[in-house]
Amino acid sequence: MVAGTESPAAAPKRITRVTSFDVAEEAGVSQSTVSRALAGDTSISEPTRQRVIAAAARLNYQVNENAARLRRGKTGTLAVVMICRAGEDRKDLNPFYYSLLGSTCAAASARGYEVLVSFQDSAENFWGHFEERRKADGMIVIGTSENTPAWDYFGELDPDTNWVCWGAPNDGFPWVRTDNEGGATLAARHMLVRGYTRIVCIGSETSPQRQFKERYDGYAAAMRDAGHEPVLQRIERGLPREEQGRRAAAALAASGQPFDAIFAVSDEIALGALKELIALGYKVPDQVGVVGFDGVRAGAWSTPPLTTIEPDFEVAGTLLVERLLAAMAGEPETPRRSPVRLVVRGSTRP
Amino acid sequence: MVAGTESPAAAPKRITRVTSFDVAEEAGVSQSTVSRALAGDTSISEPTRQRVIAAAARLNYQVNENAARLRRGKTGTLAVVMICRAGEDRKDLNPFYYSLLGSTCAAASARGYEVLVSFQDSAENFWGHFEERRKADGMIVIGTSENTPAWDYFGELDPDTNWVCWGAPNDGFPWVRTDNEGGATLAARHMLVRGYTRIVCIGSETSPQRQFKERYDGYAAAMRDAGHEPVLQRIERGLPREEQGRRAAAALAASGQPFDAIFAVSDEIALGALKELIALGYKVPDQVGVVGFDGVRAGAWSTPPLTTIEPDFEVAGTLLVERLLAAMAGEPETPRRSPVRLVVRGSTRP
DNA sequence: TTGTAAGCGTTATCAG
DNA sequence: CTGATAACGCTTACAA
């Protein structure tokens, strides 16, 4: 009401530079009362609060977060570092990581935190001093275990740093990860139940991708449990996943090793193997069953669609945030394993 | 050297609370000299700068960004708002948006900006006052045009707000988007060159997805150019994309309308249509060609793999950032259209 | 219940 | 080239 819309001199042109002092004047109270009223301090009387709120609305006031944070010493922000493979086309980044980023942001926001995201791919831009610079109260690092220089960098940060990570190459890191063993066991049992018995695992127990080892272990445990010997068909290093799957399937077929099912430690490998098997004339799922791990979208579109183990992304993000907040509060333990579920599609027989 | 690693009293336990005053004392200069030396001010003599840098390193000093920003009045940060469909499972968010997020972060970082990301899905959490709160100097909003409440909200922000968006429902917004028309024309021409002539477009000219209209227009222009009448097979609203494609293909086949190719306005629609065509016994690509739009990963895995128009994600992110920075600087025009390329796979004949 | 006043840790202005 | 000395806008004791 004070300054009408057509008052040319009063209309603020630039994004508001209104301070709590202006609001105080407008409301006829002191500046500290404004701060308290807006912060929801219970000692402020309701009429006063209303007056302040109205004045703030009229002036279009918003607190300057930098000043507030400087004073408080806390930021209300969590940093998320996404580690990409150096020089990698972002489009080729496993979409899984993007989903995880999304659910992490959501979980942080549910706990009242904002998220500062940075993508880092190589030594020139590794950076983890968010707390020291008061940019964030803690840090979540998400990446593939293959970017060794990155993990070397983050492994050597100040040990008092509050952080958690996804994709850690070893257990010396404050990790959270998928229930790889459980998932692999689930996959193997599913195949056993469907009548496959000569199940070969395409994967690796020595890959820097620690999860591959865990998945192999889960598969092996389920096999032994059922009285079968686990068999590993190794992937060749340094190739695209799909190609690794293709070659492994070809090698397996050529080896004479009898098999009626394949458990691949990742969907991309599984998809490659699937393509190769079909090219070689195998009938999937009747003659050979195939199960992957990761729940990538493309699996729904292959022929036949890929049966897979799908990690729960929503839970994973929540777990990361919960663990970080617990660490920040000095409470040590919260769950570190994110659950998985079996998605049955057409690459295993009914 | 001053405090050795084994000096128990000197070792800071918590994340450093060192200020520029401490560094000043350590280096034997004034506090303002420290600030200047570290900021790279040219008026500082080289010996002094070195002394300061060494002292800062010794004390593990990092500037408090909140104080710096408060003083400067600039944040060096761009906000990115990701608009999701309300209640949507984050995993189902079009991976395209994640790629765009990634390339936007990369572009921002290349221009010296940080990125503050927030995911917003409904009225309870729509929020765009980053500038007023001094959390960011500008804002990029990325979303599907279908979340109408979101666009209503962002459309009514202070007109002085510095922002750009991807997915705007109409031209009243400061938009950047894919070269939809050009891409669709590219698709249609590709099919014409490969000998298809009765090309039907599966899509819509009235969808809130403005891009669908643009894609139809591009297709129609290319058809008319070649002396053919464009034909539109409409999708039904409110269904999952794949289902829309399926039904449209079924309806087309049932209609008696002669056709030897389909241009679908999105890959998911194309994949649905492809599946339906094959189920109906059509031979793809010999009898019927299919081209989609978006370049989703799943398209590489369908049978046959889907020929498509792939937007350039890297460029798109750069465009968004460039446009925003230009707007912030008051320079009005930069390109708004992000380029596309044709990816030929198996769903069109050689 | 509200007001007064002291910082939070920088950057920037002004002298010297 | 360097040193004092104001701000920046808020939160939070401490008083009243």
CA distance B253 to B235: 14
Helices (H), chain A: 20-27, 31-39, 46-59, 65-72, 95-110, 148-155, 180-193, 210-225, 241-255, 267-279, 313-329
Domain span at residue A158 reads 77-176+314-337
pLDDT means per 10 residues in chain B (350 residues)?
Answer: 31 59 91 91 88 91 93 92 72 69 85 87 87 94 86 92 91 92 97 96 85 95 96 93 96 96 96 96 96 90 93 91 91 87 95
Please, which residues bridge with residue A310 across strands? A341
Query: Is residue B4 situated within a structural domain?
Result: no
- State whether residue B131 is helix, strand or coil: coil
Assign A93 a pLDDT band (cuts: 50, 70, 90). low
Residue A10: pLDDT above 50?
no
Query: Is residue B87 situated within a structural domain?
Result: yes
Assign A92 a pLDDT band (cuts: 50, 70, 90). low
- Mean of the per-residue pLDDT values of chain A: 88
Q: Which nucleotides of D are covered by protein (CB under 7 A)?
A: 1-5, 7-13
A254-306 per-position pLDDT tens digit: 999 999 999 999 999 999 999 999 999 999 999 999 999 998 888 988 889 99
Query: Is residue B350 situated within a structural domain?
Result: no
Handedness of CA B244, B249, B255, B260 (dihedral sign): positive
Q: Are residues A54 and A98 in the same domain?
A: no
Q: Pick from A90, A134, A313: which is nearest to B66 by CB?
A: A134
CA atom of B32 to C1′ atom of C12, Å: 10
Q: What percent of chain A has pLDDT over 70?
A: 92
Q: What is the per-residue pLDDT for A6?
A: 30
Query: Is residue A272 situated within a structural domain?
Result: yes
Q: Which residues in chain B (246-305) have CB-CB distances under 8 A to chain A?
A: 271, 296-303
Compute the nearest-CA separation of A10 from chain B (Å).
Answer: 15
Q: Pick from B63, B103, B119: which is nearest to A106 by CB?
A: B119
CA distance B314 to B117: 18
Is B117 close to A119, i.e. CB distance below 8 A? no
Assign A85 a pLDDT band (cuts: 50, 70, 90). confident
**Which residue of chain A has the CA closest to B107?**
A119
Q: Are residues B98 and B59 in the same domain?
A: no
Residue A75 contacts residue A37 (beta carbons within 8 Å): no
Q: Are residues A157 and A265 in the same domain?
A: no
**Between the CA of residue B336 and those of A50, A93, B161, what are the distances in Å?**
45, 26, 18
Q: What is the mean pLDDT of residues A2-25?
A: 55
Q: What is the per-residue pLDDT for B200?
A: 98
Query: How many domains is chain A partitioned into structurally?
Result: 3
Q: What is the per-residue pLDDT for B297?
A: 81
Q: What is the per-residue pLDDT for B179?
A: 96
Query: Is residue A228 situated within a structural domain?
Result: yes
CA distance B189 to B195: 10
Side-chain half-sphere CA neighbours of B192 within 13 A: 18
Q: What CATH number does residue B54 fall under? A: 1.10.260.40
Q: Pick from A13, A75, A102: which is nearest to B93 by CB?
A: A102
Q: Are residues A306 and A182 in the same domain?
A: yes
Q: Are residues B140 and B45 in the same domain?
A: no
Is A38 (CB) below 7 Å from strand D? yes
**Which residue of chain A has the CA closest to B161?**
A15
Q: Are residues A205 and A281 in the same domain?
A: yes
Q: Are residues A182 and A302 in the same domain?
A: yes
Residue pairs spanning A and B at CB distance below 8 A: 157
Q: Are residues B185 and B264 in the same domain?
A: yes
Q: Which residue has the tokens 């192999």?
A: A216
Residue A299 contacts residue A245 (beta carbons within 8 Å): no
Q: What is the per-residue pLDDT for A12?
A: 29
**Between the CA of residue A248 and those of A84, B30, B86, B342, what are the distances in Å?**
26, 66, 42, 31
CA distance B5 to B311: 54
Radius of gyration of chain A (CA): 27
Helices (H), chain B: 20-27, 31-39, 46-59, 65-72, 95-110, 148-155, 180-193, 210-225, 241-255, 267-279, 313-329
Query: Is residue B348 situated within a structural domain?
Result: no
More confident residue, A4 or A183: A183
Q: What is the per-residue pLDDT for A2?
A: 31
CA distance A307 to A312: 16
Q: What is the per-residue pLDDT for A4?
A: 32
More confident residue, A329 or A200: A200
Q: What percent of chain A has pLDDT over 90?
A: 64
Q: What CATH number does residue B116 fall under? A: 3.40.50.2300
Q: Which residues in chain B (331-350) have CB-CB distances under 8 A to chain A?
A: none
Chain A residues with beta carbon closer than 8 angstroms to that of B117: 80, 105, 115-117
Is A36 (CB) below 7 Å from strand C? yes
Q: Are residues A87 and A183 in the same domain?
A: no
Chain A residues with beta carbon closer than 8 angstroms to that of B105: 82, 117-119
Query: Is residue A279 situated within a structural domain?
Result: yes
Is B30 (CB) below 7 Å from strand C? no
CA distance A151 to A116: 20
Q: What is the per-residue pLDDT for B63?
A: 92
Q: Are strands B307-311 and B289-293 parallel, antiparallel or unpaired?
A: parallel
